[in-house]
Structure 1
Amino acid sequence: MSFNVTVQPSGRAFVAQADEALLAAAIRQGIGLPYGCKDGACGSCKCKKLEGSVSHGPHQSKALSPEEEANGFILTCCATANSDVVIESRQVTDESAYPIKKMPVRVASMARASHDVMVVRLQLPASDVFKYHAGQYVEFLLRDGDRRAYSMGNAPHTQTDTPGVELHIRHMPGGKFTDHVFGPMKEKEILRVEGPYGSFFLREDSTKPMVLLASGTGFAPIKALIEHMQFKNITRPAVLYWGGRRPADLYMHEWVQTKVAEMPHLRYIPVISDALPEDGWTGRTGFVHKAVLQDIPDLSGHQVYACGAPIVVDSAQADYTAAGLPADEFYADSFVTEKDKAKAAA
């Protein structure tokens, strides 16, 4: 059995099977709904159900609270239709829905950027053009069926000479995939990936000044955005706030400084939360999302692109909307861990 799903205000429509999540059906048919983790843990796909009935699979209450569900909100990543459904979503674009491909990739290079961050370059098949938006991610397909998602740290235009993507992988001790990356993985190893996924990309039709907020390896998709902005000569004012516990966590600090020198409309505010005396840190301290509010207490005229740990992204969204940021001008990619996904499935 299948049901019709209509998305307002665009009027776009697609068909969902009775046992198929609405988001999966939309992706399959090239409909660009917003989403992040696809596992009921981040809340990026939350939207309003206007008509019809759905059933929800496992999800975290922080992604969709009982009160929100009672008020008609749903998570398209884990909601299946029980009837024809009408939903309200602020984003339904053709351009956000590049074809999703499964590809073999070769590890072209591995470089330690810090004690716990590896920059991995993957060589893509030269015979098949891989299209994606700066800010999107790919998923590694592991042998046991598990998946691990990582944002691409390079903009699409950088593939012109050498087809490949750059990933910033943080070591999570005990992690099935990252233990391999920081252990036996070697250059020339063959892996499989699928993508592109995600609705985190630059909205180029706006002229609003931008806040780019990153914590830890959440810098990877922000780096891709910066490269894209420079390539497209986008001159909207933008300020990057990048936070880490220690200065070494800002593992591409010099790269950002170089870009700031090349891009007059880009500023950079590094923020450290737990500097030690031996770090000799003399810059901004505290929580990185709070630093934004210290500098821009009224965010009503801005766009925000936030990426990193869920606690940072969630706190930023709550505090920034309270500071006047329109809800539909907060774009986020929360780095949900396997632990977070396990909570959603519990």
Structure 2
Amino acid sequence: MLEQWYTGVVTKIVNETHNTRRFWIRVPEKATFDFKPGQFITLDLPIHEKKNKRWRSYSIASHPNGSNEIELVIVLLEGGAGSTYLFTEIKEGSELLLQGPLGKFTLPDQMEKDLFLICTGTGIAPFRSMIHHLKLHDIPHPNIYLISGSRKEGDLLYKSEMMQLQQEMPGFQYIPTLSREEDTSWAGRKGYVHAVYEELLADKRPAHFYLCGWKAMIDEARQRIQAMGYDRHDVHLELYG
């Protein structure tokens, strides 16, 4: 079955960090844009003659709220045709061709094991959707650890929002981890995300892993998680780039 394409209208754009933007897109053809937290949409951008070179997929950063508007958070990639087009050509009121929701990167039906949500950069988008969804609907959940890797504190996405959620949601822990922060005032974790989950799981308790971000991080995390003795079926991933 061919997926249907919709025309979305950009209702709002906000600069989040020096190289990331939040885009709100409304889909007037739908009364509500229904999706499962963790799913993505695909945009068809006028950047190439060939279809498969025009398509760019982005995780939905907002949670299902009964409206026909969704939020994306997008990083400007150096030399990236898709993100360059979105950053230079798209304004509030612009139209975008999109299809979705797509993808199976969604929460488990049985939430019995602790959840480790491990991301870099804009890979936090699907996890933000999941966490808000769990809180909004008071869904019982095990311990959830959101381990978010960035280079510097200024690169962290949704930081104050995640710190607020940590205070309001029992069992949810937000662990931002910085690989290149030189400012001595940073009191949080330094280094890479891998050391964090390895330390937390020294007891090898049952866990589900969700990985979202750049390929290098995901490849390394998969190897390390399996080396710790976890089954590959415990690991779910969404690759960027």
TM-score (norm 2): 0.92
The answer on 1:132 being equivalent to 2:35 is yes
Report deviation, 1:136: 0.9
Query: Which of residues 136, 152, 155 in structure 1 aligns to 2:63?
Result: 155
SS at match of 2:74: strand
* Mapped partners of 2:174, 2:32: distance in 1: 33
* Mapped partners of 1:127, 1:198: distance in 2: 19
Report deviation, 1:295: 2.1
* Mapped partners of 2:217, 2:205: distance in 1: 20
TM-score (norm 1): 0.65
* Mapped partners of 1:298, 1:101: distance in 2: 47
Task: Note if contact 2:210-2:235 (Cα within 8 Å) is conserved in structure 1.
Answer: yes
Closer, same or farther in 2 for the Cα pair 1:232/1:225, shift >3 Å?
A: same
List per-residue Cα deviations over 1:280-337 (Å, max 9, x = no partner): 32211111122110221244501111111111111111101111222111111111x2
* Mapped partners of 2:205, 2:21: distance in 1: 37
Paired amino acid for 1:266: F
SS at match of 1:177: helix
Structure 2 residue aligned with 1:226: 131
* Mapped partners of 1:100, 1:151: distance in 2: 17
Task: Note if contact 2:177-2:188 (Cα within 8 Å) is conserved in structure 1.
Answer: yes
Report deviation, 1:181: 2.2
Share of identical aligned residues, percent? 26
> What residue ranges of structure 2 are gaps of 5+ in the alignment?
none
Structure 2 residue aligned with 1:247: 153
Paired amino acid for 2:6: M
* Mapped partners of 1:324, 1:178: distance in 2: 38
Task: Note if contact 2:30-2:68 (Cα within 8 Å) is conserved in structure 1.
Answer: no
Task: Note if contact 2:63-2:130 (Cα within 8 Å) is conserved in structure 1.
Answer: yes
Paired amino acid for 1:193: L
* Mapped partners of 2:182, 2:96: distance in 1: 39
What is the alpha-carbon root mean square deviation over aligned residues?
A: 1.7
Q: Which has the higher contact order (CA 8 A, sep 6+)?
A: 2
Structure 1 residue aligned with 2:187: 282
Q: Which runs of 4+ in 1 moved over 6 A?
A: none
> What residue ranges of structure 1 are gaps of 5+ in the alignment?
1-27, 29-98, 338-346
Paired amino acid for 2:12: S
